[in-house]
Amino acid sequence: MRLIATGLACVRSGREVFAGLDFVVSAGEALVVLGRNGAGKSSLLRMVAGLVRVAAGRLALEGGEAELTLAEQAHYVGHQDAVKPALTVQENLEFWARYLGGGARALPDVSLAALALDRLAGLPAAYLSAGQKRRLSLARLVAVQRPIWLLDEPTSALDAAAQDRLTNLMRGHLGSGGIILAATHAPIGLEGVKELRLNGSAA
């Protein structure tokens, strides 16, 4: 499996954010997207997720499920946590599992345990700390299996223990042939990652 971008361009509100972007990320690889604020890191992830229109160029996934779109094979976790405060931790995750089409494959109990949230399953999300909300947002990566993870500032609000958990999850995902794109200003704990500096090239 390979995610391929060729001549990719992004335009937001009439402004060209980036253009001529080329990269290839293969199964088992992580690409860290770097750049100053406003360089288009989040826009790139949202483009892969199908939330931002491709202004020029081409995005393609080789070796994925032929009947599914690229967006349907990707998890997008934005820098803002999509948590419904009136629902419990468990209900939030069950909502996402249904929304993402996990069906019988969804593993909410396993994913809560993986992010050390199992003891908070019945607690309304309104009472969670910022770090706990971030972990709940990340739990859907485990609850519903998808080959591409798009992570925008994934370690934001996480303490050292939670960062270690996330790193282990990412290593497991890559070890099973998954792909990760992460936009970040901070290290994500993975070795041997590719880097993409916007207005530059993958290395």
How does residue 186 score in pLDDT terms, banded at 50, 70 and 90? confident
Task: Please indicate, yes or no, if residue 52 is contained in any of the structural domains.
Answer: yes
| pLDDT above 90: percentage of residues in the chain | 68
Summarised one tens digit per residue, pLDDT across range 14-72 is 889 999 999 999 999 999 999 888 889 999 999 999 999 999 999 999 998 989 999 99
Within-domain flag for 202: no
Q: Is residue 76 part of a domain?
A: yes
What value does the mean pLDDT of the chain take? 90
pLDDT value at residue 39: 85
Contact 111, 99 (CB under 8 A): no
Question: What mean pLDDT do residues 145-173 have?
Answer: 93
pLDDT of residue 166: 94
Confirm whether 118 is domain-assigned: yes
Q: Tens digit of pLDDT for each residue in 66-119?
A: 899 999 999 999 988 889 999 999 999 988 888 887 655 556 678 899 999 999
Q: Which of 9-18, 101-110, 163-172 has the lowest mean pLDDT?
A: 101-110
Query: Per the domain annotation, does 203 fall within a domain?
Result: no
8 A C-beta contact, residue 20 and residue 27: no
Q: What total of structural domains would you count in the chain?
A: 1
Question: What is the CB neighbour count within 10 angstroms for residue 26?
Answer: 15
User: Does residue 17 lie within any of the structural domains?
Assistant: yes
pLDDT of residue 107: 65
In a domain, 65, yes or no: yes
Looking at the predicted structure, is the pLDDT value of residue 201 above 50? no
pLDDT given for residue 102 in this prediction: 61
Residue range of the domain that includes 82: 2-197
Q: What is the mean pLDDT of residues 3-18?
A: 92
Q: Where residue 189 sits, what CATH number does that domain have?
A: 3.40.50.300
The residue type at 126 = A
Query: Per-residue pLDDT tens for 108-149?
Result: 678 899 999 999 999 999 999 999 999 999 999 998 889 999
pTM over 0.85: yes
Alpha carbons 94 and 140: distance in angstroms, whole number = 9
